[in-house]
Amino acid sequence: MLSDVIIAVSDRICHLQNPDGSFPAGHNGPYHDPETPVRTSGHWLMIFAKCYELTGNAIYRDKVCEIAGYLSSKKARPHGFSFHHRTKKR
């Protein structure tokens, strides 16, 4: 089942989480612009939330809280009102 794959992948990715709750940054595909950890962390937050919904396992709830903590931090929102996704100057 797809839910089993989602849970298995989530279990294998946990070690990549940074101490601040974020996940490593990536880059925008079409333009290859460097990104901050906000986008990948947001995606993982949704995936871990689904894992918690499927299993009720507190480990996934804790991951959601850790990632949410990062996403609500000044580091993720340096201007205080919106998320900072890309680092390339235009």
Instruction: Count Cα neighbours of 80 within 13 Å in the Cβ-side half-sphere.
Output: 0
- Is 76 within the bounds of a domain? no
CA distances from 11 to 30, 37, 80 (A): 29, 19, 32
- Is 35 within the bounds of a domain? yes
Question: pLDDT digits over 47-80, tens only?
Answer: 999 999 999 999 999 999 999 999 999 888 887 7
CA distances from 71 to 2, 10, 25, 46, 85 (A): 27, 19, 13, 12, 11
Q: 0.75 exceeded by the pTM?
A: yes
Segment 20-35 shows an average pLDDT of: 86
Give the DSSP letter of residue 77. Answer: S
- Is 80 within the bounds of a domain? no
Percent of the chain at pLDDT exceeding 70: 92
- Is 65 within the bounds of a domain? yes
- Is 19 within the bounds of a domain? yes
Q: Over 80: is that where the pLDDT of 81 sits?
A: no
How many whole angstroms separate alpha carbon 34 and alpha carbon 29?
Answer: 10
- Is 82 within the bounds of a domain? no
What is the structure's pLDDT at 29? 75
> Which pair of structure tokens corresponds to residue 71?
């996403």
Segment 17-37 shows an average pLDDT of: 88
What is the domain count for the chain? Answer: 1
- What is the extent of the structural domain holding 9? 2-71
Q: Over 90: is that where the pLDDT of 26 sits?
A: no
- Is 86 within the bounds of a domain? no
How many whole angstroms separate alpha carbon 51 and alpha carbon 23?
Answer: 17
- Is 90 within the bounds of a domain? no
